[in-house]
């Protein structure tokens, strides 16, 4: 099978040069960091994006490629609807290369209880103006050709879309650079430079950058970086396994999922496959530190998680990963340039078996690739997008909980306006950092 297309061996495409000073430094070259840099540059701010490895090397290229409004937390939904509008505009700028296709998302129900959950979400989503519709078993059968699974029905949003992640995000980085953002790969930010209790710059492995504001969009690495500066983010990471098939006859043009597996049509004629819910979790110090906060979501979704006693060396929450380091010494971010987890062989086998059982006329899918990524998640499965009151100049944009690719352009615009002091246009109360310390009840988002 082919190796994952972005790795530490991938040639550097964005080499700076690193400036002595700018207005804003963005830490992390995933879709959130890239689109934040894009929007900051459009506002005339001098912005530098530092990426320890490669643009989109981690979860932003390893996700399913879905661009969905359906099933979103209602705090996210307005931003996601805006994001879809941005994706349409981006597809006009970049053309077919993004792989953007608006062919819908279908959630499939095996039980009446799942149908009831879909209907409850749809009923509340109607007030937002989303074009989501319930589907009968017959309507599902008309949309998805040759399926043997006896689905009770489904939830369908025709305006939802997809794109090709490992192609799209580097293209978006080129767009940010063309607008004036400086992007530097292979450049880990080791520490914030703090004076008088506020951010005055960053120290990178290539040197110091003076700046007034920093956006931390480090994905699975954000909590490790923040804690070294006294900022506690109760973020953990789960391993998600994904695979790509060789070309197959089309059974559905859009994206679909039930509780066993998910699939979407790819530009190359194959399908991206993934488990409907299963993932792996590596236990580390942060898991013990944040256990109480995660109890609500664990009770809701415990059986879909396989627990492992320790992460591989140098992972963000591995037992041996340093929690403190000197700014003039090699940091954990340089020891692991690109977080490239091994996919779960068990999950690969289960998903292929489920796909073959559902589509017996296709048989067992031949895979061209399998990979995994580490998803940064939060106790309530919604992100943190907020200023850090205790450390002026630091803005958090992390914990996207597997929802970042689709919502990236929308959140990039929101974060840029937050940094610039403009009206963000959305209520960000749901995403505040203090919700984990102010006595608020942890309210997990929809598990759809």
> Could you report the per-residue pLDDT of 46-102, keeping only the tens digit for each?
999 999 999 999 999 999 999 999 999 999 999 999 999 999 999 999 999 999 999
CA distances from 209 to 19, 390, 422 (A): 6, 22, 24
> Over 80: is that where the pLDDT of 447 sits?
no
pLDDT of residue 304: 83
Instruction: Determine the Cα angle at 317 with ends 313 and 320, to 5°.
Output: 45
Per-residue pLDDT at 122 exceeds 90: yes
Mean pLDDT (the chain, rounded): 96
**377-408 pLDDT per residue, tens:** 999 999 999 999 999 999 999 999 999 999 99
> Do residues 130 and 69 lie in contact, with contact meaning Cβ atoms separated by under 8 Å?
yes
Collect all residues with Cβ–Cβ distance below 8 Å to 409 and sequence separation of at least 6.
31, 35, 83, 86, 87, 90, 172
In angstroms, rounded to a whole number, what is the distance separating the alpha carbons of residues 104 and 194?
A: 47
Q: Measured between alpha carbons, how far apart are the two ends of the chain, in Å?
A: 31
> With 80 as the cut, is the pLDDT of residue 302 above it?
no
For the cut 90, the answer to whether the pLDDT of residue 297 exceeds it is no
Which tokens hold the place of 357? Answer: 């059982």
Residue 288 phi, psi dihedral angles, 5° rounding: -70, -40
Using DSSP bridges, classify how beta strands 207-210 and 198-204 pair: parallel, antiparallel or unpaired.
Answer: antiparallel
So what's the pLDDT on residue 100?
Answer: 97
Q: Where are the domains of the chain?
A: 24-436
> Given pLDDT bands bounded at 50, 70 and 90, which one contains residue 300?
confident
Is the pLDDT assigned to residue 142 strictly greater than 80? yes
- Cα separation, 409 vs 282, in Å, equals 30
Cβ-based neighbours of 155, under 8 Å, separated by 6 or more: 70, 71, 106, 107, 109, 118, 121, 122, 132, 133, 134, 135, 448
Q: Which residues contact 123 (CB under 8 A, 6 or more apart)?
A: none
Q: 220, 237 in Cβ contact below 8 A?
A: yes
Quote the DSSP letter at residue 170: H
Contact 233, 398 (CB under 8 A): yes
Radius of gyration of the chain (CA): 21
Residue 225 has pLDDT above 90, yes or no: yes
Contacts 24+ apart (CB under 8 A), 223-228: 223/286, 223/316, 223/317, 223/376, 223/398, 224/316, 224/317, 224/321, 224/323, 224/332, 225/27, 225/189, 225/333, 226/396, 227/323, 228/191, 228/323, 228/324, 228/325
Per residue in 313-326, pLDDT (tens digit) is 999 999 999 999 99
Length of the chain (residues): 448
Tokens 């998600």: give the residue.
Answer: 240
User: Quick check: 303 pLDDT over 80?
Assistant: no
Q: What is the distance between the alpha carbons of residues 93 and 88, in angstroms, rounded to a whole number?
A: 9
- pLDDT confidence bin for 298, thresholds 50/70/90: confident
* pTM > 0.85: yes
Angle at alpha carbon of residue 400, lines to 311 and 271, rounded to 5°: 80
DSSP letters, 69-126, are -TT--TTTHHHHHHHHHHHHHHHHHHGGGG--B---EEEEESSHHHHHHHHHHHHHHG
Question: pLDDT tens, 162-221?
Answer: 999 999 999 999 999 999 999 999 999 999 999 999 999 999 999 999 999 999 999 999
Helix (H), strand (E) counts: the chain: 12, 21
- State the greatest distance between any 2 C-alpha atoms of the chain, in Å, as a whole number: 67
Inform me whether the pLDDT recorded for 448 exceeds 80: no
Query: How confident is the model over 3-27, as pLDDT tens digits?
Result: 999 999 999 999 999 999 999 999 9
> What distance in Å separates the CA atoms of residue 299 and residue 66, rounded to the nearest whole number?
27
**Contact present, 197 and 92 (Cβ < 8 Å):** no
Q: How many CA atoms lie within 13 A of 7 on its CB side?
A: 9
229 touches 396 (CB < 8 A): no
Q: Does 295 have pLDDT greater than 90? A: no
**Cα–Cα nearest to 355, from 245, 240, 239:** 245
| Helix, strand, coil fractions of the chain, as percent rounded to 5 | 35, 25, 45
CB-based burial label for 334 (10 Å; 0-12, 13-18, 19+): middle
Residue-level pLDDT at 212: 98
CATH T-level assignment (fold) for domain 24-436 = FAD/NAD(P)-binding domain (3.50.50)
């Amino acid at each position: 099978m082919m190796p994952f297309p972005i790795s530490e061996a991938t040639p550097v495409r964005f080499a700076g040069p690193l400036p002595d000073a700018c207005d804003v430094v963005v830490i992390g070259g995933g879709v959130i960091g890239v689109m934040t840099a894009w929007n900051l540059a459009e506002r005339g701010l001098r912005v530098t994006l530092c990426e320890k490895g490669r643009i989109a090397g981690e979860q932003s290229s390893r996700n399913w490629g879905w661009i969905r409004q359906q099933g979103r937390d209602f705090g996210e939904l307005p931003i996601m609807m805006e994001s879809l509008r941005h994706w349409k505009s981006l597809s006009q700028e970049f053309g077919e290369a993004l792989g953007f296709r608006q062919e819908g998302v279908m959630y499939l129900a095996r039980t009446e209880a799942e149908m009831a959950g879909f209907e409850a979400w749809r009923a509340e989503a109607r007030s937002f103006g989303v074009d989501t519709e319930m589907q009968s078993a017959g309507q599902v059968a008309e949309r998805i050709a040759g399926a043997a699974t006896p689905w009770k029905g489904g939830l369908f949003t025709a305006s939802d879309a997809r794109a090709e992640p490992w192609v799209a995000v580097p293209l978006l980085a080129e767009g940010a650079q063309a607008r004036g953002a400086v992007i530097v790969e292979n450049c880990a930010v080791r520490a914030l430079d703090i004076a008088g209790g506020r951010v005055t710059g960053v120290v990178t492995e290539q040197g110091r950058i003076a700046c007034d504001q920093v956006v931390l969009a480090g994905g699975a690495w954000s909590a490790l970086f923040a804690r070294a500066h006294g900022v506690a983010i109760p973020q953990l990471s789960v391993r998600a396994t994904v695979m790509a098939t060789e070309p197959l006859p089309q059974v559905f043009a859009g994206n679909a999922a039930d509780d066993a597996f998910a699939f979407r049509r790819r530009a190359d004629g194959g399908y991206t496959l993934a488990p409907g819910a299963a993932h792996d979790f590596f236990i580390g110090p942060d898991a013990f530190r944040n256990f109480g906060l995660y109890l609500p979501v664990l009770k809701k979704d415990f059986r879909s998680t396989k627990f492992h006693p320790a992460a591989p060396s140098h992972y963000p929450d591995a037992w041996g990963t340093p929690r403190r380091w000197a700014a003039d010494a090699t940091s954990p971010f340089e020891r692991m340039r690109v977080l490239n987890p091994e996919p779960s062989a068990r999950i690969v086998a289960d998903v292929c078996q489920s796909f073959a059982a559902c589509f017996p006329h296709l048989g067992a899918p031949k895979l061209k690739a399998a990979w995994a990524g580490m998803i940064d998640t939060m106790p309530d499965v919604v992100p943190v997008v907020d200023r850090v009151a205790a450390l002026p100049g630091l803005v958090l944009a992390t914990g996207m909980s597997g929802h970042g690719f689709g919502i990236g352009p929308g959140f990039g615009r929101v974060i840029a306006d937050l940094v610039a002091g403009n009206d963000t246009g959305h209520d960000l109360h749901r995403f505040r950092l203090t919700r984990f310390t102010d006595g608020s009840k942890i309210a997990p988002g929809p598990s759809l």
